[in-house]
């Protein structure tokens, strides 16, 4: 099957509100691998084109550190590619390998996050993280209760509640504004991440910072579960918190009188521990670049 046109991939990337950052990053790697596999040769012109495409993909969803991270890792391979040897297969394999490592890292996160949860716990979470969904699926019959913020404007929390319902996991959906009523009674807060910044601060769906402030106030542990691939590369462009279409708010108001910033930054001192594929870190543990 021929590779999807790059413009189509970009369009999907821009519109996608369903898939998490890791899944989108793996889709981008798959596309790059397939695009290279279709070529007999990767010459300087192709490399320049690939560099441009990587740059465009990273710029499209700037809050998603894992996209920048995985594509940057693959670009290292691209830069050290020897055109005279022209081992195109190695580049393709590199993309596939990074994608597999990314999935393994998620599995590792889930394993370590699970160790923090005892039967009967009440967990509080925000938005929809594919990593946390994998974790929650392992909480069937543990008598845990999950409280989920709806996560306006598109209410990804409702999707989480429906899935938990299918799994017979007791859950309560709340408006984002109610988060401060639940941190005093929850055993812990767990959220995923779109990006981890160099100091351990976390970029995640907007509302996460308020939840973390309430958790700290109420002495409720606040855990961020995110594979190390979500650490933004030092070379990444300056962080921009994505603004989405204010029509998503669904209010009958002039558009210039609404704001729809999708992400916020939760400072490192609000975070009790970072959970990644290497374990549970009480101090932020940056990867080596």
Q: In what helix (H) or strand (E) does residue 136 lie, and over which residues does it extend?
A: helix 130-137
Whole-angstrom distance, CA of residue 251 vs CA of residue 152? 13
Distance CA 37, CA 166 (A): 40
Shortest Å distance, C-beta 142 to a copy of itself? 18
Out of 44, 238, 254, 288, name the contact with a copy of itself by CB under 8 A: 254
Q: What angle do CA 212, 119, 144 make, to 5 degrees?
A: 60
**Of positions 10, 46, 93, 241, contacts a copy of itself by CB under 8 A:** 241
One of 175, 185, 235, 285 touching a copy of itself (CB under 8 A):
175
Residues within window 191-210 making contact with a copy of itself, judged by CB under 8 A: 205-207, 209-210
CB 191 within 8 A of CB 132: yes
Handedness of CA 288, 197, 193, 125 (dihedral sign): positive
| Contact range with a copy of itself by CB under 8 A, out of 20-28, 72-80, 151-159, 226-234 | 151-159
Nearest approach, Cβ of residue 196 and a copy of itself (Å): 18
How many residues form the binding site for a copy of itself (CB under 8 A)?
41
Please compute, for residue 139, the number of CA atoms within 13 A of its CA located in the half-sphere on the CB side. 29
Q: Is 217 in the site for a copy of itself (CB under 8 A)?
A: yes
By CB under 8 A, tell whether 178 contacts a copy of itself: yes
Beta bridge partners of 145: 122
Looking at 143, 187, 194, 199, which residue is catalytic? 194
Residue 243's Cα: distance from chain center in Å?
17
Chain residues that interact with a copy of itself, rule: CB under 8 A: 149-153, 155, 158, 161-162, 165, 171-181, 205-207, 209-210, 213-214, 217, 241, 249, 251-254, 257-261, 264
Catalytic (active-site) positions: 194
């Amino acid at each position: 099957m021929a590779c999807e046109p790059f413009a189509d991939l970009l369009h999907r990337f821009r519109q996608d509100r369903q898939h998490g950052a890791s899944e989108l990053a793996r889709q981008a790697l798959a596309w790059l691998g397939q695009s290279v596999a279709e070529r007999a040769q990767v010459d300087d012109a192709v490399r320049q084109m690939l560099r441009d495409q990587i740059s465009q993909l990273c710029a499209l969803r700037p809050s998603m550190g894992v996209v920048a991270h995985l594509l940057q890792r693959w670009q290292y391979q691209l830069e050290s590619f020897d055109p005279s040897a022209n081992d195109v297969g190695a580049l393709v394999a590199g993309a596939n390998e990074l994608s597999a490592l990314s999935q393994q890292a998620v599995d590792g996160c889930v394993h370590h996050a699970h160790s923090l949860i005892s039967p009967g716990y009440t967990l509080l979470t925000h938005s929809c993280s594919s990593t946390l969904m994998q974790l929650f699926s392992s909480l069937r019959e543990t008598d845990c209760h999950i409280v989920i913020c709806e996560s306006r404007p598109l209410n990804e929390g409702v999707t989480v509640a429906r899935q938990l319902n299918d799994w017979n996991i007791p859950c309560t959906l709340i408006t984002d504004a109610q988060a401060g009523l639940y941190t005093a009674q929850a055993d812990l807060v767990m959220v995923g991440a779109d990006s981890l910044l160099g100091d351990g601060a976390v970029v995640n769906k907007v509302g996460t910072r308020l939840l973390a402030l309430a958790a700290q106030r109420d002495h409720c542990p606040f855990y961020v579960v995110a594979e190390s691939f979500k650490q933004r590369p030092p070379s990444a462009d300056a962080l921009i918190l994505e603004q989405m279409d204010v029509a998503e708010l669904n209010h009958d108001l002039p558009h210039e009188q609404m704001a729809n910033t999708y992400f916020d930054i939760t400072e490192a001192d609000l975070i009790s521990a970072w959970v990644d594929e290497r374990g549970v870190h009480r101090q932020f543990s940056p990867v080596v670049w």
